[in-house]
Structure 1
Amino acid sequence: MPLYSLDNHHLALTVSPCGGTILQLLAKRADGNVHLLRPSVLSEETPAAESACFPLLPFGNRLKGNDFYFKGRHYTLPPNTGDAHYLHGDGWLGNWQCTFQNEDALTLAFTHRSDSYCYCAEQHFSLHDDRLDISLCITNQGTESLPFGLGWHPFFPLSETTRLQAKASGYWQEDAQWLAGKHHHALPAGLDFNTPQPLPRHWVNNGFSGGDGKAEIVWPGAGHKLSLTTSPECPVFFLFISDSRFDAGCQHDFFCFEPMTHAPNDHHLPHGGSLRVLSPGESLTQQMSLHSATINIPE
């Protein structure tokens, strides 16, 4: 399957149908292009876990116990990777089909059917000067109403000077098997990014609540920044930083900031928690924008 490219005077985007992933997003600069997402191998064989960004659908993160009850029916979602849990949904593991492309826009489509979730999805990419807009739409094609959620899993370049700012009022403590555990209404030292802060150089795998769907990432060494916004505002984000205990080759050269429409394990809350219940034929749409800008570096 071919890769797809969008290009204008400010940005260059490469998308793969394998997982509906972004493989590259570059900010064009006269003094050298800047990677706004972590570089990945530009190949249709690059798996989503090694890409620069992948979509989360029909919901994100892990489902504790790999099952849930909804409207009196029991649903089972078996593990879909080497992880013990059903992880990040299906879209990142499937093949997407191109349904539209011109110079600055691209639409990919994906269909999934199982004993639980049956749906079709579209992911639309468009360049607008120095901004990439992505929209994700999912439609319930099953015969029963079910709770759905959407999000993205971007990987951002990380250096010792990288700064992150993102609003949050609480977080989920990590539990066994990388699950989201107890929710706390206060942020611990080192994980409060309400003001711009450097990122830890150790393992982090936590969900954060009380977000406003926005984040700003600054790379002072590159003289560049990126603003992430979501519409509607995603109230939850996950922050992931690997380390050598999980990945022997870890170089601390990337981190993940994952906006989501819902909280982890919302399937186990009454009425699906903050997940959106879609009746057969109903759709849910979420948008994310990545806005690139240069910054002045103090002398």
Structure 2
Amino acid sequence: MAKTAEAEYRWNSGPFKVGIVPRGGAISRIDWVRPDGNGVINLLRPIDDYALTSGNPSHLGCFPMVPFANRLGYAQFEFDGKTINVPANRAPDPHAIHGFGISSVWDIERPTVDTIRFNHKHDDPQTGFCYVAWQQIKVANDTISIEIGVRHLGKGPMPYGIGLHPWFPGGESAWVQFVATDCFSTDEGKLPTTRTVIDLGRDFADGKMIRHHKGLDVHYIGWNKQVEMVWADRQLSLLLEASDTLSNLQFYIPENGQTFCVEPVSHVPNVHNRPEFKEFGDVRVLGYNDTLSGVMTLTPGLLTGSDNGLVDDHEEPVGRRDYSLVD
């Protein structure tokens, strides 16, 4: 395995140039070489030196969520007759968020021409979460895929969830489209409370501009495993696809609109404590050596002249980004 003290490890394959930050197992950038020869486009949100050295993967382009995704209410749950307590890792928020992988150092294995893999081990007999988690990036022609997986190594079974948390550029021209059947209302702590229909303000089936929905933070179920994104000012389209194991979608737009997240995940947030939500996306109970994995694939493309009519062509202001808005 390649142990590196560098803040960012760089790997190139085909038309993609990838940056990985071992602390937190985050992907710092996915640069795509334009097929027309006019430079490169970062498919994820732009970062700077502060983001790279902050030690917070939420400031970077994409980070893993394992062994649970999004929020876990009051950092505890009941399982197999025991109360499992995990760290509440974003004070003063009383909940746990995004799992343990974001606070771990991931080891990068020696890459091949088209594949790079990095992993971390977690061994906590007190909670029962003993596992090895991995991410594998693979390039095939004009697509790049990220697999996240976990293998349980504990003596007794434990419930697991996974997800990926990519950040994409916002701005005036960013447009998003996806289809889902239902979503959840949440309480003040952003924990799901009630399954509900998708009203007009949360419906992206026909595509909507990011700039008109700042502050949106919604968990969707029954999504079609595809998200279409367009940035007219960058002449870029991007198709995100997910495997069936990533059955749910968290969609978040910070108040400043400079970025947004579409997060493929395997379960409803806090389903550990809400058994009535299990049918809408449950954690997976793994025995010794059992695994759970999911794949997110990104396919970029250049817009044609007719495509530009999807969104207003307007340049995004350039300046220091607000890193206080992280999810």
| TM-score, length-scaled by structure 2 | 0.83
Other-structure match for 2:206: 195
Residue deviations 1:29-56 (CA, integer Å, cap 9, x gap)? 2223222110123636552010000011
Deviation of the 1:17 alpha carbon: 0.7
1:173–1:181 Cα contact (<8 Å) kept:
yes
Other-structure match for 1:107: 117
Which of the residues 226, 234, 239 maps onto 2:238? 226
| TM-score, length-scaled by structure 1 | 0.91
Q: What letter matches 1:95 in structure 2?
A: V
2:63–2:164 Cα contact (<8 Å) kept:
yes
Matched, 1:255 2:260: yes
Other-structure match for 1:246: none
Q: What letter matches 1:110 in structure 2?
A: H
Look up the SS of the partner of 2:67 in the other structure. Answer: coil
Matched, 1:182 2:194: yes
Distance 2:120 2:273 in 1: 27
Matched, 1:285 2:296: no
Deviation of the 1:6 alpha carbon: 2.4
Deviation of the 1:24 alpha carbon: 0.7
Which of the residues 33, 36, 41 maps onto 2:40? 33
Distance 2:48 2:25 in 1: 15
Other-structure match for 1:129: 141
Look up the SS of the partner of 1:100 in the other structure. Answer: coil
Q: What letter matches 2:32 in structure 1?
A: A
In angstroms, what is the RMSD of aligned CA positions?
1.9
Residue deviations 1:202-241 (CA, integer Å, cap 9, x gap)? 2111111111222111112222111111122522111111
- Note closer, same or farther for the CA distance 1:8–1:111 as it changes in structure 2 (3 Å cut): closer
Look up the SS of the partner of 2:58 in the other structure. Answer: helix
Look up the SS of the partner of 2:246 in the other structure. Answer: coil
Other-structure match for 1:70: 79
Which of the residues 213, 218, 221 maps onto 1:209? 221
Matched, 1:88 2:98: yes
Deviation of the 1:271 alpha carbon: 10
Distance 1:253 1:240 in 2: 12
Look up the SS of the partner of 1:101 in the other structure. Answer: coil
Distance 2:53 2:111 in 1: 17
Residue segments in structure 2 that go unaligned for 5+ positions in a row: 309-327
Q: What letter matches 2:114 in structure 1?
A: D
Q: What letter matches 1:77 in structure 2?
A: V
Look up the SS of the partner of 2:70 in the other structure. Answer: coil
Deviation of the 1:272 alpha carbon: 8.9
| More moved, 283-292 vs 95-104 | 95-104
Deviation of the 1:130 alpha carbon: 2.1
Distance 1:297 1:189 in 2: 29
Distance 1:55 1:259 in 2: 11
The alignment of Structure 1 onto Structure 2 pairs a total of residues equal to: 291
Other-structure match for 1:247: none
Deviation of the 1:293 alpha carbon: 1.0
Distance 2:258 2:237 in 1: 16
1:63–1:87 Cα contact (<8 Å) kept:
yes
Matched, 1:236 2:248: yes
Other-structure match for 2:325: none
- Note closer, same or farther for the CA distance 1:128–1:62 as it changes in structure 2 (3 Å cut): same
Q: Kindly, what percent of the aligned residue pairs are identical?
A: 26
Distance 2:15 2:304 in 1: 18
Q: What letter matches 2:284 in structure 1?
A: R
Deviation of the 1:16 alpha carbon: 1.2
Distance 1:290 1:46 in 2: 26
Look up the SS of the partner of 1:255 in the other structure. Answer: strand
Structure showing the higher helix proportion among its residues = 2
Which of the residues 144, 147, 159 maps onto 1:147? 159
Distance 2:287 2:167 in 1: 33
Q: What letter matches 2:68 in structure 1?
A: F
